[in-house]
Amino acid sequence: MRPEFASPSSSSSSSADRRLNALVRHLATASMVSQTAVAFSPTSGFHGDSVFSHVVRAPEDPILGVTVAYNKDPSPVGAYRTEEGKPLVLNVVRKAEQMLLNDKSRVKEYLPIVGIAEFNKLSAKLIFGADSPAIRENRVTTVQYLSGTGSLRVGAEFLARHYHQKTIYIPQPTWGNHPKVFTLAGLSVKTYRYYDPTTRGMNFQGLLEDLGSAPSGSIVLLHACAHNPTGVDPTLQQWEQIRQLMRSKALLPFFDSAYQGFASGNLDEDAQSIRMFVADGGECFVAQSYAKNMGLYGECVGALSVVCRAADVASKVESQLKLVIRPMFSNPPIHGASIVVTILKDSNMFNEWTIELKAMADRIISMRKQLFDALRARGTPGDWSHIIKQIGMFTFTGLNSKQVEFMTREYHIYMTSDGRISMAGLSSKTVPHLADAIHDAVTRMS
Amino acid sequence: MASSVFSLASATPSASLSSHDIEKGKLNLRNTSLCFKKEKNNPFMKTKSFGRISMVVASNVSRFEGITMAPPDPILGVSEAFKADNHELKLNLGVGAYRTEELQPYVLDVVKKADKLLLEKGENREYLPIEGLAAFNKVTADLLFGADNPVIKQQRVATVQGLSGTGSLRLAAALIERYFPRGEVLISSPTWGNHKNIFNDAKVPWSEYRYYDPKTVGLDFEGMIADIKAAPEGSFILLHGCAHNPTGIDPTPEQWEIIADVIQEKNHIPFFDIAYQGFASGSLDADAASVRMFVARGMEVIAAQSYSKNLGLYAERIGAINVVCSSPDAAARVKSQLKRIARPMYSNPPVHGARIVANIVGDAALFKEWNAEMEMMAGRIKNVRHKLFDSLSSKDKSGKDWSFVLKQIGMFSFTGLNKAQCDNMTNKWHVYMTKDGRISLAGLSLAKCEYLAGAIIDSYHNVS
């Protein structure tokens, strides 16, 4: 039954007619199989063609998609696991939450666009050091955002709008989500050499060459510590060389700090690279995340700091950051940031936190040692010392995608196809199994 | 002046150049003795020696020197101005956040219970999937469309947890930008101030349809229909599901039917912003009637939800974007693309607010309690409207019709005051409101109605 349509000039028809027509169309649709009737346009929303029919299915996220494929055992996603293979909520976090719950004066009113003021102050102190001249001179603006990603995105959007150089150089390789964060923010992305697969260490010469040939003023993404995915960090001497080179070319540093305290076990040590840059009086961007070091992953807590040359510039920058945030999500979520404040401002809780943090870092370092020893014991061909030289949650094993596929098929070990494994997901019990798998993969597949 | 900065051999990093010296970052280095020879064209460099170590120090010029101070947010800026005011009779009718009769912020009892429950459960804090908490996505779609709705049973709804209303709207805007490159959004005149910002930043073109009629302080229905009809076919029409912000003026059920007719005729796509479900009338189902009617007609619908007001979860940032599609396959594809937009924006949404909502809506007793508290909040606002109307009618002898206060619904009322009159409200009466004439009744107590009525009458009659 073909529907009778009211013509566009039917505005003179009664509302009853219009209602009837609408009803007729509705009934007609129900009995129609998607025909391209004259009256229906391809944009029709009826049970025929969807207006979204041209929307294709997006591929699964290469990192989070691995978790989707596998839901039992320790996840290869960068999330810490205990020796028993379980996620960990820090004791000090539970304590903080109890304190927050007991505080009857707490409300859930909208936070300011830039988040909790105390959180911002404490986060800046944590990363730059309490005695940082940049903080003393009010040259830092720190704003609360949605964990590391959110902070990177907002910083990048700001740069795309207000900075004269729209290119960011990212290390090769880098966290899988980095390129999209920057391109969608409006920056163009180039890479600089970073990892040397033959040594499974740094390609420092390549790094210096590539940064050296970058146009003056370009933005450079730096992993503050515990490089993701390789686990390969510059030495302090190398950091100093990088700093000098960058300052001589006026390259703008954008630090991604997702592992402060989690890499070495020491908060100050893991912030040294950043503090070195700030000490020379120059400007930089820093994205901080509390996902790993406080185990607050899903609470999405982070901060973006912009260190400026002058206090008035910092406050102008802050005002412009607010313009980026308001149409994105208005203001940040309160829960995770409140936990952070509770912990950072109380010296006892802060100490408790550093102890739990060190325990996590130490466990990962011990897993590295165990895996290295296990491979040596099996006589697995190759030099595996990079496993103990690399730092942080991840190890770039050096395994190729065929070997990775093999390990998944034969040993049910899930890891990203670039050969990255999450050390945080290992335990003494599972190390032998992994060592067997690596050994098998290396000897049987090349 | 140009040479003086660099002649300071012991220049400290914090010494700043005068703006006279800096012209878009270019500096005259010709006369300076500290110019680094290799980089003649680089103005951002000077060397400094610390004993054995020669440090390359960054220039004194900020790369961001040229940035201007952004204006304060027009809505959130009101609260800041209010805080700075010390007058004892000051009244904050700016932000749409519910206040008790004592004008205190309100955390729902049922939310306190849920918070306690969550702490006792001690669940982990793992990253949520990009699309958010599954339990939350299920209950939020059920709440909006009705759990028995065929679209849900047929899996034709793509639901993704978003950062409250703003974040959910932004995801939809980004989807429109990507997949409907010539797509335009029509927004009501006026509308919530942040709508334009969201579409601007998402690079989606927008235009306005007539909505508010200042003559009647009511709906310009004919103008609305004409403008929707005149829009290019396949436009996105942004509609407030209930309790229009900022006017408080909603179409009647009959008018909604006609709006749906026109949208269908022109193959437009209805795009609902639902920030007040349950908060407007006190009934969750009643406030969802408009959306459900569109969906019942078989239309594809976009709907952004927020739990900021109805559950008082403002700062938890919890909401959702729903896209009702004509097939489950389209819904799955749309959902995958929404995820693809969210991942480079913030990776995954925050877990806490989602768990609170899931726990409350998923538990029959808590859900019932919530409904009761919501009725109470909506009820308080209705009482305040009545009191304000009574005060205005009794105080004002001019015969002006103030009944629009009663006819409007939800948290806000469009008073019809112009900017000069609003300024008078603030400067003379210390009543803080947005300059478009909007007051938040949620911030008004019965006790203050008389005072407010006096302020409104004075501003209306004595200021132009």
Active site residue B26: no
Take residue B164 and report the two structure tokens written for it: 């409250």
**pLDDT score at B26:** 40
B207 bridge partner residues? B186
Residue A79 CB contacts under 8 Å (≥ 6 apart), including other chains? A87, A292, A297, A422, A424, A425, B126, B127
Q: Are A173 and A229 in contact (CB under 8 A)?
A: yes
Q: In angstroms, rounded to a whole number, what is the distance separating the alpha carbons of residues B234 and B185?
A: 10
Task: Say if residues A422 and A394 touch (Cβ distance below 8 Å).
Answer: yes
The pLDDT of residue B150: 97
Count of Cβ atoms closer than 10 Å to residue B73 Cβ: 21
Q: Do A316 and B67 touch (CB under 8 A)?
A: yes
Backbone angles phi, psi at A219, to 5 degrees: -90, 140
A302 close to B (CB below 8 A): no
Cα A10 off chain centre by: 55
Is A296 near chain B, with CB under 8 Å?
yes
Query: β-strand B301-306 against B319-324: which pairing, if any?
Result: antiparallel
Q: Using CA atoms, how far apart are residues A173 and A194, in angstroms rounded to an integer?
A: 7
- Count of CB atoms situated within 10 Å of the CB of A441: 24
Q: Which of A68, A110, A217 shows the shortest C-beta gap to B314?
A: A110
* CA A161/CA A336 separation, integer angstroms: 29
Give A278's contacts in chain B (Cβ within 8 Å). none
Chain B hits for A94, Cβ within 8 Å: 119, 122
* Residue A445: per-residue pLDDT: 86
Helix/strand/coil (H/E/C) assignment for every residue in chain A: CCCCCCCCCHHHCCHHHHHHHHHHHHHHHHHCCCCCCCCCCCCCCCCCCCCCCCCCCCCCCCCHHHHHCCCCCCCCCCCCCCCCCCCCCCHHHHHHHHHHHHCCCCCCCCCCCCCCHHHHHHHHHHHHCCCCHHHHCCCEEEEEEEHHHHHHHHHHHHHHHHCCCCEEEEEECCCCCHHHHHHHHCCEEEEEECEECCCCEECHHHHHHHHHCCCCCCEEEEECCCCCCCCCCCCHHHHHHHHHHHHHCCCEEEEEECCCCCCCCCHHHHCHHHHHHHHCCCCEEEEEECCCCCCCHHHCEEEEEEECCCHHHHHHHHHHHHHHHCCCCCCCCCHHHHHHHHHHHCHHHHHHHHHHHHHHHHHHHHHHHHHHHHHHHHCCCCCCCHHHHCCCCEEECCCCHHHHHHHHHHHCCCCCCCCEEEHHHCCCCCHHHHHHHHHHHHHHCC
User: CATH: 2.60.40.10, 3.10.20.340, 3.40.640.10, 2.60.40.1180. Which one for A111-345?
Assistant: 3.40.640.10
Chain B stretch 161-190, residues whose beta carbon is closer than 8 A to a beta carbon of chain A:
163-164, 166-167, 170, 179
Q: How far apart are CA B111 and CA A338, in angstroms?
A: 17
> Among B220, B250, B273, B436, which one carries the catalytic annotation?
B273
* B68 inside 8 A of chain A by CB: yes
| Gap between the Cα atoms of B214 and B415, Å rounded | 10
Phi-psi region of A222 (alpha: psi -120 to 50; beta: other; left: phi over 0): beta
Chain B contact for A313 (CB, 8 A cutoff)? yes
Residues of A with CB below 8 A from B56's CB? 243-244, 247-248, 280
Quick check: A141 and A315 in contact, CB under 8 A? yes
- Residue B210 phi, psi (nearest 5): -60, 140
- 10-residue block means of pLDDT along chain A (446 residues)? 37 48 44 34 47 79 62 60 92 97 95 96 98 96 94 96 96 95 97 94 97 97 96 97 97 97 96 97 97 96 96 94 95 97 98 97 96 97 94 92 93 87 91 95 89
Locate B367 and state its tokens.
């859900």
Query: Using the beta-carbon criterion (under 8 Å), do A281 and B13 form an inter-chain contact?
Result: yes
With CA atoms as reference, the chain B residue closest to A330 would be B166
Residues A344 and A342: their CA atoms lie apart, in Å, by 6
Q: Which of B46, B113, B309, B448 is catalytic?
A: B309
Token code pair at residue B105: 């912020």
Please provide the CATH number assigned to the domain covering B127-362. Answer: 3.40.640.10
Task: Give me the residues paired with residue B218 across strands.
Answer: B213
- Suggest the residue from B22, B64, B75 to mutate for an interface test with chain A (most A CBs closer than 10 A): B64
Q: Which one-letter amino acid corresponds to residue B452?
A: L
Percent of chain A with pLDDT over 70: 86
Q: Is A429 on the interface with B (CB under 8 A)?
A: no
pTM of the full predicted structure?
Answer: 0.86
Provide the token pair at A285: 């961007």
Considering only the top CATH level, what class is A64-88+363-444? Answer: alpha beta
CA-nearest of B379, B352, B164, B316 to A107 is B316
- Verify whether the Cβ–Cβ distance A250 to B314 is below 8 Å: no
Q: Tokens 């990255």: give the residue.
A: A420
ipTM, interface predicted TM-score of the complex? 0.85
**Secondary structure (H, E, C), chain B:** CHHHHHHCCCCCCCCCCCCCCCECCECCCCCCCCCCHHHCCCCCEEEEEECCEEEEEECCCCCCCCCCCCCCCCCHHHHHHHHHCCCCCCEECCCCCCECCCCCECCCHHHHHHHHHHHHHCCCCCCCCCCCCHHHHHHHHHHHHCCCCHHHHCCCEEEEEECHHHHHHHHHHHHHHHHCCCCCEEEEECCCHHHHHHHHHCCCCEEEEECEECCCCEECHHHHHHHHHHCCCCCEEEEECCCCCCCCCCCCHHHHHHHHHHHHHCCCEEEEEECCCCCCCCCHHHHCHHHHHHHHCCCCEEEEEECCCCCCCHHHCCEEEEEECCCHHHHHHHHHHHHHHHHHHHCCCCHHHHHHHHHHHCCHHHHHHHHHHHHHHHHHHHHHHHHHHHHHHHHCCCCCCCCHHHHCCCCEEECCCCHHHHHHHHHHHCEECCCCCEEEHHHCCHHHHHHHHHHHHHHHHHCC
User: Do A176 and A194 contact (CB within 8 A), yes or no?
Assistant: no
Mutate to test the interface with B, among A11, A40, A55 (most CBs of B within 10 A): A55
How many other CB atoms sit within 10 Å of the CB of residue A169? 21
Catalytic-residue membership of B48: no
Nearest residue in A to B332, CA atom: A57
Residues of A with Cβ-Cβ distance to B160 under 8 angstroms: none
- In angstroms, rounded to a whole number, what is the distance separating the alpha carbons of residues B96 and A159? 32
Interface test with A, best of B5, B12, B67, B254 (most A CBs within 10 A): B67
d(CA B446, CA B433): 18
The torsion angles phi and psi of A303, rounded to 5 degrees, stand at: -150, 150
Chain centroid, CA A259 distance in Å? 11
For residue A255, how far is the Cα from the chain centroid?
A: 12
- Each of the 464 residues of chain B gets a pLDDT tens digit; together they read 333 222 223 333 333 333 443 333 343 334 333 333 343 434 444 444 433 333 455 456 788 888 899 888 877 778 888 989 999 999 999 978 999 999 999 999 999 999 999 999 999 999 999 999 999 999 999 999 999 999 999 999 999 999 999 999 999 999 999 999 889 999 999 999 999 999 999 999 999 999 999 988 899 999 999 999 999 999 999 999 999 999 999 999 999 999 999 999 999 999 999 999 999 999 999 999 999 999 999 999 999 999 999 999 999 999 999 999 999 999 999 999 999 999 999 999 999 999 999 999 999 999 999 999 999 999 999 999 999 999 999 999 999 999 999 999 999 999 999 999 999 999 999 999 998 899 999 999 999 999 999 999 999 999 98
Nearest-angstrom CA–CA distance, A91 and A339: 12
Closest CA to B340 of B203, B177, B196: B177
User: Is residue A233 within 8 Å of A225, Cβ to Cβ?
Assistant: yes
Distance CA A245, CA A223 (A): 17
Question: Which residues of chain B have a CB within 8 Å of the CB of A217?
Answer: 44, 63
Nearest to B273 by CA among B174, B367, B173: B173
Clarify whether B116 is annotated catalytic.
no
Tell which CATH classification among 3.40.640.10, 3.90.1150.10, 2.160.10.10, 3.40.50.300 matches the domain B74-106+368-462: 3.90.1150.10
